[in-house]
Amino acid sequence: MRVLFCILSLFAAFTIFGKEINVTYPRDAFHLQLIVMRKKGLLQKEFAKDGIKIKFHDITSGVKQAKAVAAGKIDICTSIDTTSIIIATGQNIKLNIIRAVCNPTGTLALMITNPNIKSVKDLKGKTIACGKGGTFHQLLLEALEKNNMTIKDVNYIPMSNAETYNAMLAGKIDAAVLPTSQMLDAKKRGARILITAKGLMRPKLVVAVGKSFAQNHPNWIGRYVKVQDEAMEFIKNHKCESLQLAAEERGISYKEAEWLYNNTDLITSLSKDDIMSLKDDIEFLFQQKLIPKKVDILSQGAAIDILFEDFVRDQISICAVSSRSIIDAFHSSSTNRSRHN
């Protein structure tokens, strides 16, 4: 009996230790909570006590993040734009939003190098590049529509962030939408901001997971949320240190990190305005033929609590509740499943 007990104990230990959680870590973007979580080791320490390793993956594109989840390569998208989630939903890739990250309205920008371009209307016939199917793409389409133009009025070339950045510096394109780190570097090299998302759209970056991960590890999700809240508290109490960490991590100056911080609204949950703007985003993306049909969303307000088992086809499940209620819900849900995780 004692031998059997030892064998079972070793088996249990091996089933706990050696596990890993694959999370995205977009290095081209400015996500202060995530930078603090990694650089201060908050996320790693939280799971290390259970022998669970955190493996970071540098994937900036929201579309690629969603596909990585669908392929089983990523467990948690730590910062993904809701435009990519909507498009992924239209392709039957279901992601669940478990937390919000920020509203980068002031840093999501359409940049230009051509000195003769003074307004969006001047982009007619010009060459523009950015990633296809995400927030960058939506910003370009929104800007064109507001000026009574369509994508057919410009020479649009879908490119990766790196390709777009290099093409802009080489003078091969007239305008581009770049992630924050590349946007700052492009400014140093003569590019300038033509417009930002302000007045055009409400960009939303969130934390999202796939269905199986949500169902199998609700307690892990609760712990991730707890760590993100700890990072927010650290930023609140140690702003200068947080910005210095970000500056060093992104290879920018402290002043640049501070500018990004001041122009990025850090959040932990989606507000009512955020949720309502999702309806507008879905309608716009459908009209632009970026999704084959209008997907439904759960938008009853900013206090939605969803059990992860209750997934609805073609819906984006939004958990926009306080951290306490999320953690309590997950802990309660995991009580009956802890033996299986």
Query: How many domains are there within the chain?
Result: 2
Q: Of 55-59, 82-86, 162-166, 312-316, where does mean pLDDT reach its minimum?
A: 312-316
Domain boundary pick from 196, 214, 238: 196
**59 and 154 both lie in a single domain:** no
Return the pLDDT at 319. Answer: 41
Domain boundary among 196, 216, 231: 196
127 within some domain: yes
Measure CA of the first residue to CA of the last residue in the chain; give whole Å.
25
The average confidence (pLDDT) of the chain is 82
Same domain, 176 and 231: no
Instruction: Assess whether 223 and 170 both reside in one domain.
Output: no
Q: Quote the CA–CA distance of 242 and 161 in Å, as a whole number.
A: 26
User: Please, which pLDDT band fits residue 4 given cuts at 50, 70 and 90?
Assistant: very low
Query: Reading across the β-sheet that carries 109-112, which strands appear in turn?
Result: 155-158, 127-130, 175-177, 109-112, 192-196
Same domain, 95 and 113: no
Taking phi first (over 0 means left), then psi (-120 to 50 degrees means alpha), and beta for anything else, what does residue 148 get?
left
Neighbouring residues of 154: CB distance < 8 A, sequence distance ≥ 6:
123, 124, 125, 126, 127, 128, 144
What type of residue is 189? R
180-223 pLDDT, tens digit each: 878 888 888 889 999 999 999 999 999 999 888 888 888 898 89
What is the pLDDT averaged over residues 254-278?
Answer: 89
Identify the domain boundary among 155, 175, 196.
196
19-28, 103-112, 290-299, range with the lowest pLDDT: 290-299
Q: Are 167 and 173 in contact (CB under 8 A)?
A: yes
Q: What angle do CA 277, 58, 326 make, to 5 degrees?
A: 50
- Rounded Cα–Cα distance for residues 297 and 138 (Å): 19
For residue 112, what are its two tokens? Answer: 């230009």
Query: Could you give the CA distance from residue 257 to residue 115 in angstroms, rounded to a whole number?
Result: 27
Token look-up 């819906």 returns 315
Q: Is the pLDDT of residue 6 over 90?
A: no
Distance (Å, whole) CA 54 – CA 223: 13
Q: 165 and 134 in one domain?
A: yes
Average pLDDT (115-140) is 94
Inter-residue contact 207 to 273 (CB < 8 Å): no
Establish if 340 belongs to a structural domain. Answer: no
Residue 67, in any domain of the structure = yes
CATH number of the domain within which 247 lies: 3.40.190.10
Least confident of 50-54, 180-184, 191-195, 314-318: 314-318
Tell me whether residue 171 is in a domain: yes
Which residue blocks in the chain are alpha helix, DSSP H?
2-16, 32-39, 42-48, 62-70, 82-90, 135-146, 161-169, 180-188, 211-216, 218-237, 239-250, 254-262, 272-287, 323-335
Q: What is the pLDDT of residue 15?
A: 40
Tokens of 114: 């051509």
- Rounded CA-CA distance 85/282 in Å is 10
Calculate ∠ Cα 158-110-166, nearest 5°: 55
pTM attached to this predicted model: 0.82
Residue 188: give the domain boundaries: 109-196
Q: 230 and 327: one domain? A: yes
Same structural domain for residues 289 and 183?
no
Residue 206's H or E segment, with its range, is strand 205-210
Q: What is the pLDDT of residue 296?
A: 64
Q: Are residues 118 and 25 in the same domain?
A: no
Do residues 281 and 83 touch, judged by C-beta distance below 8 A? yes
Report in angstroms the alpha-carbon separations of 105 from 141, 204, 262, 323: 16, 8, 11, 24
Are 97 and 113 contained in the same domain? Answer: no
- Read off the tokens for 197: 């998302």
* Same domain flag for 179 and 322: no
Query: Are residues 279 and 165 both part of a single domain?
Result: no
Spatial distance between the Cα atoms of 250 and 238, rounded to a whole number of angstroms: 18
Confidence bin at 12 (pLDDT 50/70/90): very low
Per-residue confidence (pLDDT) for residue 272, from 0 to 100: 79
| Residue 341 belongs to a domain | no
Contact indicator for 263, 107 with CB cutoff of 8 Å: yes
Strand partners, 96: 209, 317
Look-up of token digits 């958990």: 319
Q: Which residues pair with 55 in a beta bridge?
A: 22
Flag whether pLDDT at 289 surpasses 80.
Answer: yes
> Cβ contacts of residue 48 below 8 Å, gap of 6+?
none
Share of the chain above pLDDT 70, in %: 81
Where does the pLDDT of residue 54 fall: very low under 50, low under 70, confident under 90, or very high at 90 and above?
Answer: very high
pLDDT greater than 80 at residue 303:
no
Least confident of 80-84, 137-141, 299-303, 314-318: 299-303
Range with top average pLDDT, 28-32, 61-65, 307-311: 61-65
Percent share of the chain, pLDDT over 90: 56
**Structure letter (DSSP) for residue 294:** P
- My answer on whether 165 and 273 are in the same domain is no
